[in-house]
Structure 1
Amino acid sequence: MLPIVSRATMSSAPYTRAVVSAMRKLYPEALADKSFDNTGLLLEAPFDPRRRQRNSVLLTIDLTKAVANEAIARQDSIVVAYHPIIFRGLKSLTLQDSQQQSLLRLAAAGISVYSPHTAVDCARGGLGDWLADIVTGTPTHLPSDPKQQQQQPHPSDHTSQQPQTIPKRPLYMLQHHPSQQTLQQKALSLGTKPHDRRPIVPTSMPNYSPEETGMGRIVRLHDAVPLTAIIDNIALGLGNPKGFPIAVPQGKQISDMMIRTIGICAGSGGHLFGELREPVDLLFTGEMSHHEALAAIEKGQCVIALFHSNTERGFLSGVLKGQLEGEIAEEWKRLRDEQRSTNGVEHDKDYLAALEDESIEVHVSEVDRDPYGIMIAKS
């Protein structure tokens, strides 16, 4: 008789392996910047077919305790976290460290973790191109909300007709970037303005076009547009956030600025923008240091910064979710057929039951968010 092999502790869940294979096809790990990055399968949880997870993957930017709780409660098979939760070598894994605690809890629940990070930044059609599509888009309609259009007086505004009273302490409300369920990209037709684009730092990997693949993007519009139009595009493409930092040269107003060339970097752009070999009118990123922003406006450039992960999160629901659903369908079918026809090995009934499950689910975390929000004064 053929040996009956238990798959418990020998490998990760078969669905997890299909997800990892799909991610590697979409965003090859060879494209990642290995000089600092740590991409790939960072946590491979042993598969126990007697208490197997659902055939589902949870997409997130950051793997926080809240996201780990979400994945465990949902019984996902794998978390695809854009940012690596492990960046450097670990000398121990303990419950005293909050990030290690999340990893240990996920492993105990049979949930693996994969991180693509800069492979997504570099790839053609990845995060850099998505942001370039947003800044070169055309609004299809603007939301008309009379309440939003009505200008409310600021608590400190007074006229001579107003009675002199003791000013009240203003009330403030903390606003975070819109969650996945409230992102509204449909108001923007992506990438419709005539333009040229190329990477800031082209890839040197063979078999990839350096004109289309690499870190960051430089966009050159065929016709200059007002900075206010770019701001509208970014707001519409990223869910109409309540506000974000903008820097313009001293002595200039936002309404004065015309934009033709744009440097783009998801996340933290200061270092990559240092690689620019041509002047640009606008730097669009998640964050830059105080001195980097000062240097930019001294050159006459504008800077738009949305906070680090707010330039990345919408990509999960807007692009990656749909890509993965299609790619996983093919990989899951291939893996199931391959495992069921393995010669010389008879799988136990629990493992075969896992292979019979045709379901495929891809979800985007609703608790994942940037640590920073905007405090809004309420009159």
Structure 2
Amino acid sequence: MSATTRSAPFSRAVVRAMQKLYPQALADNTWDNTGLLLETPFDPSLRRSNTILLTIDLTRAVADEAITRKSSVIISYHPIIFRGLKSLTLANSQQQTLLRLAAHGISVYSPHTAVDAAPGGLGDWLADIVTGTTTTTSYDENEGRKTTESPPIKKSIEESDDPFIDHRSPVYTLNHHPSQTALRRSPSSPNTVSIPHTRVPIIPQSPPLESHPGAGMGRIVTFHQPQPLPTLLDRIGQGLNNPKGFPIAIPQNTSLSSLSISSIGICAGSGASLLSNLDVDLLFTGEMSHHEALAAIEKGQVVMSLFHSNSERGFLSEVLRWQLEECVEEEWAKVREEEGDNPELKEALEEVDFDVEVSEVDRDPYGIVILKE
């Protein structure tokens, strides 16, 4: 009888931690493809380090990075496999990446929309940014919302910086969103009081999960008092590690300094389908098409888009990295106890320490060309 083929014990601990934090039941499984997408067999002679690499997109560059770091598992927010595969060949760039990772013993897990929907997940992270909240608190189990207090407000953008006022300079530079790896904010830090507001999911989780009360797709934030739009822009810029800029659409015959926001619809990534029918002042998302944004401003709404993956990437270092450090520690201890009598795993189980790292090469495909003085 042949020996049972299994993945590395540390990889199993990581998968259990991800499923505990972001159950697949929270994902939109009508179209999404979440979970363990590549499971590599354990080979003691090719053992990897206990390292998890976090990325939004699993590109060739990220795969190279994981191989160089000797990572065991890549947590890729976006699935590298969306549809069924009829073959795995080197002719296709994504399949080539999967084959290379398999050859090096690196597994791939994708949580995607499960992270969007979870309380304390990506939707709440964006809501925390617009409300000035630096750490995520728990949802009220009965109300599915939270209310918090107000911090000092940053100096707002000056009217002379209004992007709808034309400024010309002769030199261009290409700027990508700054690396999120510089952010090392621990979740154990004291809460900063946030702007008073309520928040609810746009589409509540159905059926609800007892382990994740208040889950659901998107978020609607309603402020107790209207917020000047320039103040929100400052808050968002700070929360996103000060990018060089991002697109914004405002109703015609208005200016940034004249607009106040009482309610915000939030969706990471491509948010038009979730946000288009909301009666809110601001649509805050990763991307919307020209015609979708035009329809919104015709209704008097403001649209703020961050470029698709820039609405998601900061979550890896701000939240997921810290969540995994705590949860993997628990699950790795359990796996080591469960497998302690297995002599084939003795060396692998003796390595107690592990690392959770954020990719340094992962970035949105779009950068911003800026006029330079």
Q: Secondary structure at the match of 2:334?
A: helix
Q: Secondary structure at the match of 1:340?
A: coil
CA displacement at 1:47 relative to structure 2 = 1.1
Distance 1:190 1:371 in 2: 33
CA displacement, residues 137-157 of structure 1 (integer Å, 9 cap, x when unaligned): 1776869xxxxx9xxx9556x
The 8 Å contact of residues 208 and 215 in structure 2, kept in 1 or not, is answered as no
Distance 2:301 2:40 in 1: 48
Distance 1:6 1:322 in 2: 36
CA displacement at 1:274 relative to structure 2 = 3.1
User: Normalising by the residue count of structure 1, what TM-score does the alignment of the two structures yield?
Assistant: 0.86
Residue 265 of structure 2 corresponds to which residue in structure 1?
263
Which of 58, 62, 71 is equivalent to 2:66?
71
Residue 300 of structure 2 corresponds to which residue in structure 1?
300
Matched, 1:42 2:37: yes
The 8 Å contact of residues 285 and 304 in structure 2, kept in 1 or not, is answered as yes
Matched, 1:369 2:359: no
Which of 226, 230, 247 is equivalent to 2:232?
230
Distance 1:17 1:209 in 2: 21
Matched, 1:325 2:325: yes
Aligned in 2, Cα 1:296/1:210: closer, same or farther, shift over 3 Å? farther
Aligned in 2, Cα 1:256/1:185: closer, same or farther, shift over 3 Å? farther
Distance 2:184 2:261 in 1: 24
Q: Secondary structure at the match of 2:123?
A: helix
CA displacement, residues 248-291 of structure 1 (integer Å, 9 cap, x when unaligned): 00000011100010000000000111353xx1000000000111
Aligned in 2, Cα 1:247/1:293: closer, same or farther, shift over 3 Å? same
Please tell me the residue identity of whatever aligns with 1:283: L
Which of 120, 123, 126 is equivalent to 1:128?
123
CA displacement at 1:377 relative to structure 2 = 1.2
Matched, 1:21 2:23: no
Aligned in 2, Cα 1:235/1:73: closer, same or farther, shift over 3 Å? same
Residue 166 of structure 1 corresponds to which residue in structure 2?
none
Please tell me the residue identity of whatever aligns with 2:353: S
Q: How many aligned positions are there?
A: 344
CA displacement at 1:71 relative to structure 2 = 0.2
CA displacement, residues 1-41 of structure 1 (integer Å, 9 cap, x when unaligned): xx9x967xx11111000000000000111110001100000
The 8 Å contact of residues 32 and 118 in structure 1, kept in 2 or not, is answered as yes
The 8 Å contact of residues 184 and 318 in structure 2, kept in 1 or not, is answered as no
CA displacement, residues 134-188 of structure 1 (integer Å, 9 cap, x when unaligned): 0001776869xxxxx9xxx9556xxxxxxxxxxxxx22110000112345979xx
Which of 107, 123, 126 is equivalent to 1:112?
107
Q: Secondary structure at the match of 2:283?
A: strand
The 8 Å contact of residues 324 and 356 in structure 2, kept in 1 or not, is answered as yes
Distance 2:73 2:272 in 1: 32
CA displacement at 1:347 relative to structure 2 = 2.7
Residue 283 of structure 2 corresponds to which residue in structure 1?
283
Please tell me the residue identity of whatever aligns with 2:206: S
Distance 2:196 2:275 in 1: 23
Aligned in 2, Cα 1:45/1:210: closer, same or farther, shift over 3 Å? closer
Residue 195 of structure 2 corresponds to which residue in structure 1?
193
Residue 335 of structure 2 corresponds to which residue in structure 1?
335
Aligned in 2, Cα 1:272/1:334: closer, same or farther, shift over 3 Å? same
Residue 55 of structure 1 corresponds to which residue in structure 2?
50
Please tell me the residue identity of whatever aligns with 1:377: L
Aligned in 2, Cα 1:191/1:67: closer, same or farther, shift over 3 Å? farther
CA displacement, residues 203-241 of structure 1 (integer Å, 9 cap, x when unaligned): 102434997210000000000010011101100000100
Matched, 1:353 2:347: yes
Structure 1's consecutive aligned runs of 4 or more residues displaced over 4 angstroms after TM superposition are 138-143, 153-156, 183-186, 208-211
Please tell me the residue identity of whatever aligns with 2:57: D
The 8 Å contact of residues 37 and 87 in structure 1, kept in 2 or not, is answered as yes
Aligned in 2, Cα 1:190/1:98: closer, same or farther, shift over 3 Å? farther
User: Normalising by the residue count of structure 2, what TM-score does the alignment of the two structures yield?
Assistant: 0.87
Give the share of equivalent positions with the same residue, in percent.
62
Matched, 1:89 2:84: yes
Please tell me the residue identity of whatever aligns with 1:175: N
Distance 2:193 2:88 in 1: 45
Distance 1:51 1:219 in 2: 49
The 8 Å contact of residues 261 and 281 in structure 2, kept in 1 or not, is answered as yes
CA displacement, residues 323-348 of structure 1 (integer Å, 9 cap, x when unaligned): 0000000000000000014xxxx533
Within a 5 Å distance, the mapping from 1:140-151 to structure 2 comes to none
The 8 Å contact of residues 200 and 275 in structure 1, kept in 2 or not, is answered as no
Distance 2:102 2:299 in 1: 50
Distance 1:49 1:327 in 2: 25
Residue 97 of structure 2 corresponds to which residue in structure 1?
102
Q: Secondary structure at the match of 2:339?
A: helix
Within a 5 Å distance, the mapping from 1:168-183 to structure 2 comes to 170-183=170-183
Please tell me the residue identity of whatever aligns with 1:200: I
